[in-house]
Structure 1
Amino acid sequence: MSLDWIGETLLPRLLAAGVQSLLVVAAVWALCRYLRLSASVRCWLWWFASLQLLVGALWPTPLSLPLLPASWNQAAIAEPASAQLSASAQLPFFATRGDLAASAAADPISASALDWLSWPLAFAALWLSGFALVALASARGYASARRRVADSQPCEQPHVLHAYRTLGDALGLSRLPPLRLSAQIDSPQLIGPPATVLLPRERMAQFSAEDLAMALHHELVHVRRRDLWWGWVPAMVQHLFFFHPLAHVIAREYSIAREAACDAAVLESRRYAAQDYGRLLLRLGVAPRPASGVASASPTYTALKRRLLLLQNATSSSQWIALVLTAAVVLLGLVPYRVTAAASERAPKTESHSVSIHSSDRRGGETRITELSNGGQPAVWAIKGDQYYRVRDDGSYEAVRDSAIRARLQQRMRDARQAGIDAERAAATAELAAREGERAGREAERAGRAAALEAERAGRTAEQHAERHAEHAARTAEIEAERAGRAAEIEAERAARAAETQAERAAALEAGREESAAAREAVLTAQRANEHGHRAAEQATRLAASQAQSARLQAERAAREAGLRSREAARRAAREAEAARDQDRRDAEQARRDAEQARRDRDQDRRNAEQAQRNRAQAQRDAEQARRDARQQALDAEQAGRDARQRAIEQARRAREQAAATPYRYQSSRNSEETRLWLVQIRRNASQVASIAIAHSRIDREATASVVAAARVVAER
């Protein structure tokens, strides 16, 4: 970082960010002034206001907002060949080193005389001196804080350590900072980083147990909010913008809002009363804020008054309001911007630009940018680290001093890097999509294999069932055919025996011709019976074959239907199993939600019971305190009456002694009159004191009655 860079780059950024901060601070102030925002929301709004200054100092090129009319660009369009204004023309009373070089080339004699007129260098030197002084003061403050921590002693009081650990567990802090006692402070402090909680050793005896718990609770809320780390942003802004009043205003408002947010968090715990906490703040009083930390005491009386008013008017904003306001501040004021003219709808001349960027390690990491506009002479630029050069036709280098050209070249480099990043992201996205596709293909192939195996298994089962059915039908047909054959043979044998019997009868009745005719008829009858038996056997065989064929067809049809039914049943069973799993998952999720809701309800009931118990205890303490106050006031009134009577008696005695010692009657009468008037005045004073005491007693009785009634209401709840 050189003086040239500070004067020509950093200081313009600081000035632009400071101007923009006027709008941001005005917006944040209006929101905090006219809306009832919580202290936490106010703290974040002021933190973002400080972040706007820091971003403006580090942001290289502001965003352009085309809000001006297009006519503002007509002069630039009419003269496209005009040179870009230098930094000295853009900023009045500024003379850059490039301008000095140009003036030196035109007039070498006056070059040495004009060298001291480099205003950016002078302003850079002034800013650097102020920054160094502020940084040195902060370093000394940090060193002093660390010495204070080193001189302190660890806290070894059991009740303090017990309260400290109990509060840490209640706030959910897994690691507590060390707790130490210091004789150099008057109020509790949180020093860091590294974080250390310091308590005033001399005032520990003055703190009650409740006061000590409230002070420790306040410091531990700072630890939970990580205020030591978030506070670096306003601190850095104060160092960079030490010349800007708004930077100090932002830091002050952020500090007050931060303390008020911690106060509100302490009261939201429902452990302490707001009156007791306000009395603690008044007792701590005003003390300087440590250089690298936070303190429970306020730095000024104005800050103390504002904290007490915020305690009285404490509000809690919704999270949606906080998110909307924070997003509005971030979107409208966080990023630096500048107002430019809008683009013309019809440009008088269309320009074509061609840009090529390439890097070379052989030239010492040099990056070259070639720009070609309207087919004219190309412009070659060279970038080496943070230095920008124009490459002439003869290969020589000319340093670039114009901030607009440097910003354009930086934008070219950012666009190139962004394009490379986008290409890498697109390639990574494509590769991820390819992997997802391959994974989906493998899963589909696995599911297809499982379905094919299931179908093959169902087919084999159906084929086995059909084969068994066909074998059974074939065996049944064979048995039926065998039965039919045996029946036919029996019938043939019966017919043969009948024929033989008839032949025997014919032979017995007739002899000769009749016997032969009967024999031939018997033989024919036997042949016909044999043929009839053969035909019956063939018919039975054909009937058995047809029945076996039909049984086989029926078995195949039954196998196909069984396979279809089995696949459909498998799909239906899978769908039902998936639906059952979904239902079980939903039931389990609902049961988990019900259990979580029941747990929250139990926790809420427990918190309500604890709060009611604390309210009853507080009401009892308030009633007891009111009774003690009334009793003390009655005693005070009685003592005042006795004192008044004693003074009256003493005055009368003195008056009698003076009257006895005075020889003149006139003096005695005058002293008697004065004594009488004094006694009357004493009686009046005594009566006034008594009436005041009676009035106080009545007010205390009414307060006690109201507190008791409130305690009864809380107990009934």
Structure 2
Amino acid sequence: MNTLPDVIDTLFQRLVWTTIQATILIGALWLLERHLRRMPPAVRCMLWWLVAAQLLLGMTVSTPVQLRWLPAPTPAPTAMVHVDVADSTMGTVSTHPTRTAVSQEASSLALPTHAPWSWPRVVVSLWLLGVLLQSLFAVRQWRESRLLIRDSQPLRDTSLQGLCAEQADHLGLRHIPHLRTCESIASPQVTGLWRPLVLLPSGHKLSTEELSMALAHELAHLRRGDLWLGWIPAIAERLFFFHPLVRWAMREYAVYREAACDAKVLEQERTAPQSYGHLLLRLGVAHPVHTGLAGASSTFESLKRRLLLLQLSAGDASPRAAGWVLVAVIALIGVLPYRVTAANAAPTSSQDSLAVPPAPPAAPAAPVAELSVPPAPATPPAPPAPPVAPAKPLLSFVSNIDIDTQPRANRGFALIDGNTIIVRGSNEDESDAERLRKNGAPVMWFRRDGKAYVVRDAGLIEQARQAYAPVSQMAQEQGKFAGKQGALAGQQSGLAARQSALAGREAELASRRAAIESQQASLRADSGSASDAAQAALMKGQLAGMDKEAAEMSRENETLNRSMADLDKRAAELSQRGSEMSRQQQAATRRAEQQLDQVLNEALAKGLAIPVNR
């Protein structure tokens, strides 16, 4: 087993699947928030936190939940290959825990197993390099936060410590954080996982009421456990630094985290939103340290959104229980890692590869009678040839391969006939079948009750090959159908990207509108100067143009929603058709295995099955 390539393949698969699932979850949450605009900030914060949890679980959970939605294995352009193991002569093959369809040209079957540099390895290598750089940045930020604590000074004003103790008692905190002052910060912030403390800017000019609200905000972070919970989004954002939607989702989490603490302050302090909003404006915009949570906003956009959310928090009388039920539902449905596999990917028992459902009554008895007294061959079987390097690999012209190995299978089977190779059974049977590939003549090998046999009769080999012909034909049809599903999924992804871009434009327009409205409110209403009147008229014209632009965006959004609904309907129809094809595939497989069992019984009964040493 080549450990390093397997680790790289595992990392690549987890990155791809986790990225896809995170994109779907982020899109679903975005649509959900657009329709449920009255959700409390705490609920919104937890919903975006679930995205980070999903990202970490997707990279760490080794056994994801299997969604058997695909109707068939992946289509093969020139050949359909069912593999569970990497063959030394088959080139680079895609693996799956049970059964995966892999298509490849016949000429590529003779290539080496692992190329020195494949594109999955390049992707994983670049990702690891990016994670290393992100880790270095995180270490640097952590050191900067430690320097802030080291350079801070004990607070001399004991009344502020008493005010902090009173706030902590109101919030139900068990431990009262210490207060210290620091010259390198512009707004209060809390830091420290095990021994949290609140840093205050040196020479602050906040009033007692403003300082009380600022301390309540920082203590609300401790009450909510944000110092601990914040590590999950921080790690997820660094692992998926390449994903723009993940970075956007983590910014949404940060905004609603601050808004949730703002709402907590309004609830505990019985403070008017206008007073608290004035405090936020005084704190302004500042970048928080890595492990701390600053009271100021990180950007002007987040400050504006926090001010708008204050109004919703102040007048929100909706029950919060429904919001947390929604969080629980999203956690159960969207956080667990999933893998989309074929409907018939996993066997139902250890004998799935050869055991047949309801066989004729005489079928089981005949093999047992023959196995108790096996027919004596006319000549002893020839020993296997010593391993030599073949001049021309047999698989260089193979066009149909079906390999399905399962642990501890009671029976094993292998068939090599020109352009067809079929291997079914346990993992050890695949190794025994390797020896048969060195013989150019058609051969069939099988194992029952611990005894192995070889059949060289051309007629029986042809019957076994024909038994699997309908299965291969059905697999090719399912492959074409899977191509249609893939094209439809591509169209859905394109529409989702357009919707995301439109949402960004709408957010940008809202930001511009808020800035103009803020400037408009700052103009004195009783001012009669010509400059103020001209500026007010200009702002009014700008707002009218923005209204027109917003209406156009709304129409575009409705068009996109209708297109997405049509694609969803087509996807549902294809899924239903795929389920029917999957049932047909399973029925064809059962018939093929029944016919194969009859062929093997006939070989034993006629003495054409020659015992061999394994």
Unaligned runs of 5+ in 1: 92-98, 355-368, 383-389, 397-632, 641-683, 686-717
**How far apart are residue 323 of structure 1 and its match?**
3.1
User: Does residue 47 of structure 2 align to residue 45 of structure 1?
Assistant: yes
In structure 1, distance between residues paired with 2:257 and 2:330:
18
**How far apart are residue 275 of structure 1 and its match?**
1.0
**How far apart are residue 104 of structure 1 and its match?**
12
In structure 2, distance between residues paired with 1:63 and 1:12:
14
Task: Give the partner amino acid of 1:174.
Answer: R
Cross-structure match for 1:372? 409
Task: Give the partner amino acid of 1:179.
Answer: L
**How far apart are residue 321 of structure 1 and its match?**
1.1
Q: State the SS of the aligned residue for 1:28.
A: helix
Q: 1:74 to 1:158 in 2, by over 3 A?
A: closer
Task: Give the partner amino acid of 1:237.
Answer: A
Q: 1:2 to 1:225 in 2, by over 3 A?
A: farther
Work out whether residues 285 and 303 of structure 2, in 8 Å CA contact, stay in contact via their aligned partners in 1: yes
Cross-structure match for 2:253? 254
Structure whose residues are more often helix by fraction: 1
Over the residues paired in the alignment, what is the CA RMSD in angstroms? 4.1
Q: 1:82 to 1:334 in 2, by over 3 A?
A: closer
Cross-structure match for 1:201? 202
Cross-structure match for 1:613? none
Q: State the SS of the aligned residue for 2:199.
A: strand
**How far apart are residue 64 of structure 1 and its match?**
2.4
Q: Matched residues, percent identical?
A: 40
Task: Give the partner amino acid of 2:175.
Answer: R
Q: State the SS of the aligned residue for 1:184.
A: coil
Q: State the SS of the aligned residue for 2:238.
A: helix
CA shift digits 1:279-327 (9 cap, x unpaired): 0000000001211110000011000000000001222542431233112
In structure 2, distance between residues paired with 1:188 and 1:352:
70
Q: Which moved more, 1:135-144 or 1:371-380?
A: 371-380
In structure 2, distance between residues paired with 1:253 and 1:175:
30
In structure 2, distance between residues paired with 1:218 and 1:11:
42
Cross-structure match for 1:338? 339
In structure 1, distance between residues paired with 2:134 and 2:116:
27
Cross-structure match for 1:146? 146
Equivalent positions of 1:612-631 (< 5 A) are none
Cross-structure match for 2:442? none
Q: State the SS of the aligned residue for 2:409.
A: strand
In structure 1, distance between residues paired with 2:249 and 2:136:
21
Work out whether residues 182 and 200 of structure 2, in 8 Å CA contact, stay in contact via their aligned partners in 1: yes
User: Does residue 101 of structure 2 align to residue 64 of structure 1?
Assistant: no
**Alignment TM-score, normalising by the size of structure 2:** 0.52
CA shift digits 1:241-296 (9 cap, x unpaired): 11111221121011001000000000011432211100000000000121111000
User: Does residue 192 of structure 2 align to residue 192 of structure 1?
Assistant: yes
Cross-structure match for 1:33? 34
In structure 2, distance between residues paired with 1:152 and 1:74:
61
**How far apart are residue 105 of structure 1 and its match?**
11
In structure 1, distance between residues paired with 2:283 and 2:23:
35
Equivalent positions of 1:120-199 (< 5 A) are 120-194=120-194, 195-199=196-200
**Alignment TM-score, normalising by the size of structure 1:** 0.45
Q: 1:147 to 1:30 in 2, by over 3 A?
A: same
Q: 1:3 to 1:197 in 2, by over 3 A?
A: farther
**How far apart are residue 61 of structure 1 and its match?**
3.5
CA shift digits 1:400-430 (9 cap, x unpaired): xxxxxxxxxxxxxxxxxxxxxxxxxxxxxxx
Cross-structure match for 1:627? none
Q: Which moved more, 1:47-56 or 1:324-333?
A: 324-333
Report 1 or 2 for greater relative contact order, CA contacts < 8 Å, sequence distance ≥ 6. 2
Cross-structure match for 1:699? none
In structure 2, distance between residues paired with 1:26 and 1:126:
26
Q: State the SS of the aligned residue for 2:408.
A: strand
Q: 1:64 to 1:222 in 2, by over 3 A?
A: same
Equivalent positions of 1:277-676 (< 5 A) are 277-314=276-313, 315=316, 317-342=318-343, 351-352=353-354, 370-374=407-411, 376=413, 392=431
Q: State the SS of the aligned residue for 1:132.
A: helix
Cross-structure match for 2:549? none
**How far apart are residue 2 of structure 1 and its match?**
7.6
Work out whether residues 4 and 120 of structure 1, in 8 Å CA contact, stay in contact via their aligned partners in 2: no
Work out whether residues 411 and 425 of structure 2, in 8 Å CA contact, stay in contact via their aligned partners in 1: no
In structure 2, distance between residues paired with 1:232 and 1:304:
23
Task: Give the partner amino acid of 2:117.
Answer: L
- Which of the pair has more CA radius of gyration? 1
Task: Give the partner amino acid of 1:272.
Answer: T
**How far apart are residue 107 of structure 1 and its match?**
7.0
Work out whether residues 286 and 297 of structure 1, in 8 Å CA contact, stay in contact via their aligned partners in 2: yes
Equivalent positions of 1:233-248 (< 5 A) are 233-248=232-247
| Residue among 47, 55, 60 paired with 2:57 | 55
Work out whether residues 161 and 178 of structure 2, in 8 Å CA contact, stay in contact via their aligned partners in 1: no
